[in-house]
């Protein structure tokens, strides 16, 4: 099984973390951001929006990281990252939607302005990031409350909902937006718990 992506890509990392939780190591074919590999005609045939990652399983190809995570979880044996109970499964989908709509857009503003733009030699605009802070803080308040008395978003077991947030927080903690995580005890404890997992260390290049 192959993944076309890049180790620094947030969406590639969440897929790699899912593979790692299933104790599977895919072949990673690295796309170079600087060279525009993700916008090349060859890659656009795999991913018509010029994004990453793309999964290739034999003749089967698919894109969109959250969909790939679900596929990987179902395709391999081992501990499921999706609850069997219908209500818990629906709750997981709720948190995945929250990540996509209410957390990531505002976290990514901090990442772009404080991390990725400087990485590629561009000047970031801290004011844009600060404009996103109220929305980011509001979502962090929701997560803080939801994690009261819990190890993970759904209880005692990690799920795809937890994994999907990790790449953004990992980079967010390297920006002024990181205090939205560290200042909330439940959320910060959850982050420390998740980020210490061997699967995340492997996906983020720490192991």
What pLDDT score was predicted for residue 120?
A: 82
- Residues forming a β-bridge with 63: 54
Question: Residues spanned by CATH 1.20.1050.10 within the chain?
Answer: 86-198
| Predicted confidence pLDDT, tens digits, the chain (207 residues) | 999 999 999 999 999 999 999 999 999 999 998 899 999 999 999 999 999 999 999 999 999 999 999 999 999 998 999 999 999 999 999 999 999 999 999 999 999 999 889 888 889 999 999 999 999 999 999 999 999 999 999 999 999 999 999 999 999 999 999 999 999 999 999 999 999 999 999 999 986
Cα separation of 20 and 64, whole Å? 18
CATH 1.25.40.10 fits 86-198, yes or no: no
Q: Round to whole Å and give the CA distance between 7 and 205.
A: 8
Residue 114 has what pLDDT?
93
C-alpha span between 139 and 180 (Å, rounded):
10
Q: Of 192, 186, 172, which Cα lies nearest the Cα of 104?
A: 172
Query: How far is CA 201 from each of CA 21, 88, 90, 108, rounded to the nearest angstrom?
Result: 11, 27, 28, 21
Rounded to 10 degrees, the C-alpha dihedral 14/193/80/7 comes to: 20
DSSP 3: E
Asked if 53 and 124 touch (Cβ cutoff 8 Å), the reply is no
| Per-residue pLDDT, 121 | 84
This prediction has a pTM of 0.95
Q: Under a CB-based contact definition with an 8 Å cutoff, are residues 85 and 92 in contact?
A: no
- Provide the 8-state DSSP code for 177: G
- The answer as to CATH 3.40.30.10 being correct for domain 2-75 is yes
Question: What pLDDT was estimated at residue 56?
Answer: 98
Q: Where in the chain is the domain with CATH 3.40.30.10?
A: 2-75
Residue 103 DSSP class: I
> So what's the pLDDT on residue 34?
85
């Amino acid at each position: 099984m192959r993944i076309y992506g890049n180790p620094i890509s947030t969406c590639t990392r969440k897929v790699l973390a899912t593979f790692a939780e299933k104790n599977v190591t895919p072949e990673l074919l690295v796309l170079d951001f600087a060279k525009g590999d993700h916008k090349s005609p060859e890659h656009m045939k795999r991913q018509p929006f010029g994004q990453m990652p793309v999964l290739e399983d034999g003749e089967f190809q698919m894109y969109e990281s959250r969909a790939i995570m679900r596929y990987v979880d179902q395709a391999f044996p081992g501990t499921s990252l999706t609850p069997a109970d219908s209500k818990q499964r629906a709750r997981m989908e709720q948190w995945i939607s929250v990540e996509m709509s209410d957390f990531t857009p505002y976290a990514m503003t901090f990442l772009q302005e404080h991390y990725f733009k400087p990485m590629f030699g561009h000047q970031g605009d801290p004011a844009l990031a600060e404009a996103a802070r109220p929305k980011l803080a509001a979502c962090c308040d929701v997560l803080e409350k939801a994690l009261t008395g819990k190890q993970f978003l759904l209880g005692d077991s990690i799920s795809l909902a937890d994994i999907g947030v990790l790449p953004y927080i990992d980079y967010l903690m390297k920006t002024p937006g990181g205090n939205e995580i560290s200042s909330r005890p439940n959320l910060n404890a959850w982050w420390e718990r998740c980020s210490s997992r061997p699967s995340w260390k492997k996906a983020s290049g720490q192991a």
